[in-house]
A and B are shown apart, each in its own frame.
Chain A
């Protein structure tokens, strides 16, 4: 059990800096998910915590002790790799026991711990098999087993589910959450799958190009995305962005086509801003109290998913692309124009730089 702190952690390869100063405090027993697009530096950050990659600047502290100079084995961490990295010539039992043997754990203790882990992970019957004789999901569980038998202070997961098929992924996701809650081990989990991120995380770290753009609970990140990048990365389909200009005195927002959209409660710091609308906040009827904003949309395409339908279209007038997600099945034909409604309190306001506007 331990806390984990990153203070201004940076990583450079030669003169190329790929992690630009990440600060993060992880509480004991917390599960933090690092999420972001490919190449944003999630794995690099995780590997620096593990000690597999040197930290170029800043400090990594586990349980209050700076571990920058420690070998992975002396950091009290366990890691689950994307390709599992099981030892192919060893049995499942030996795979799990190897780390313990290297630490000179007594034989009886190894036996007990491996059997316990195998029972939790439902691997009892497979202990004598080699990894080649297991299915993908079973291999994944062995990789988890190898981590939990060590009872480390911190678990590190690097996209552990990305090699599984969709159904198994959902199953294992739930299993991992359950296991982590039972063991209460501080964990860092890397994924580029936002559903995994939202469902697993106590806290989310959304990364973009080597920077932690936002740190917060999944709900916070969804409700109040700090930047347009976060807004478009979390949520599916991605948030719609409409460039608008602010009419000084009346604080009215007008679309590029000239139609008024809504008006701000407080003065805007900039003339041109961006309004973000989540596809799921757009409705066919103005529901609830308060007046709703009306958007007339020319429909290009309707995707019926079963539980929802996703409309793709353009705002009549400004020609901004817009997507709406409506619950249920809708038989709307492409080519039609129809009015859609959004409650103004569901608007997100961003500056041109991508930052969220402070007071709105």
Chain B
């Protein structure tokens, strides 16, 4: 569809602009809020241009902590989120790529049963299995630990399925050529399959990192010590202060900080991300 009508161009730009506004405006409001004093935020109307307290606010949030919900310096909370997100991402990729490798390249008893079992877990997201999972994690003594935050979220049917589809698209001759070249299964995996999966891995990294970073319910359930809080849960806890003043400026600063890592991941991995999802070339 290559049409060249001026009003169509104008219209499509208007639609795009409106879409951008809807998404950008809240972010802008949050950013502006994070640069003012707490008092300014409580007096309507809410400011629309940045104030002068940017550095103060962020320094307070990062190195002192604030409010009732989480008094530890918030860099620790950011760090916890990072550990959890990376742990989940790397764990998911490692587990699912090996599972897919086994399912596609090895003939073992109950192979398809295994595959379908993994597949069925697609229907069981964390929220559905949260009570039994919690009791298992609790009885293993993993509450308030990184292991507890990460391990229950590692299994991934989606990623296994994606890798399986990718491996199926790799011609059989590739494995045979490697066999003739004297590469055993593990060497084939390391030297050929893994580098060929680069783009799929990158795409999954982006998706899973954001998934891990945005986990809310699970960390809320299994952490009781502030030193294990993650940033996404902290933001919502800070906003739910029982009595006293809500420090919107600091909460918004925290919100901006919570947004940054996923944005950075996307910015830096955009190329591979798109290629991993769209490319079928081997």
Contacts from A to B (Cβ < 8 Å): 50, 52, 71-73, 77-79, 81-83, 85-90, 98-99, 102-103, 132, 146
Contacts and interface: CB of A to CB of B under 8 A. Distances in A.
Of the candidates B174, B181, B195, the one having the most CB atoms from chain A within 10 angstroms of its own CB is B181
Contact of A99 (B173, B174, B181, B282): B181
Contacts of A146: 177, 181
A90 B183 CA distance: 15
Contact of A52 (B176, B198, B282): B176
Interface of B: 171, 173-174, 176-183, 187, 191-192, 195-196, 198, 281-282
A87 B174 CA distance: 7
Of the candidates A71, A85, A86, the one having the most CB atoms from chain B within 10 angstroms of its own CB is A85
Contact of A103 (B179, B182, B191, B282): B182
Given A72-B176, A73-B181, 14 more contacts: A50-B180, A52-B176, A52-B179, A72-B179, A79-B176, A83-B173, A87-B191, A87-B196, A88-B196, A98-B181, A98-B183, A98-B191, A132-B281, A146-B177
Contacts of B180: 50, 52, 72-73, 77-79, 99
A71 B181 CA distance: 11
Nearest to A47: B176
Nearest to B196: A89
Contacts of B187: 102
B174 A102 contact: no
7 contacts: A81-B173, A88-B282, A89-B192, A102-B181, A102-B182, A132-B281, A146-B177
A73 B173 contact: no
Contacts of A79: 176-177, 180
A52 B171 CA distance: 14
A85 B182 contact: no
A87 B192 contact: yes
Given A72-B180, A73-B182, A85 B173 contact: yes
Contacts of B173: 81-83, 85
A95 B181 CA distance: 10
Contact of A71 (B171, B179, B196): B179
Contacts of A83: 171, 173
Nearest to B183: A102
Nearest to B187: A102
- Nearest first, the 10 closest Cβ-Cβ pairs linking A and B are A85-B173, A99-B181, A73-B182, A102-B182, A85-B177, A89-B195, A81-B173, A72-B180, A72-B179, A52-B176
A155 to B, nearest CB: 11
Contacts of A71: 179
Contacts of A78: 180
A130 to B, nearest CB: 11
Contacts of B179: 52, 71-73
Nearest to A80: B177
B195 A85 contact: no
A102 B185 CA distance: 13
A90 B198 CA distance: 13
Given A87-B192, A88-B196, A89-B195, A81 B182 contact: no
Nearest to A150: B181
Contacts of B177: 79, 81, 85-87, 146
A292 B78 CA distance: 99
A173 to B, nearest CB: 21
B195 to A, nearest CB: 4
A86 B177 CA distance: 8
Contacts of A77: 180
Nearest to A81: B173
Contacts of A103: 182
A46 to B, nearest CB: 11
Nearest to A73: B182
Given A98-B191, A102-B187, A85 B174 contact: yes
Of the candidates B177, B187, B192, the one having the most CB atoms from chain A within 10 angstroms of its own CB is B177
Contacts of A82: 173
A268 to B, nearest CB: 50
A330 to B, nearest CB: 47
A102 B198 CA distance: 22
A340 B182 CA distance: 60
Of the candidates A86, A102, A146, the one having the most CB atoms from chain B within 10 angstroms of its own CB is A102
A89 B196 CA distance: 6
A274 B183 CA distance: 53
A78 B173 CA distance: 13
B191 A85 contact: no
Contacts of B192: 87, 89
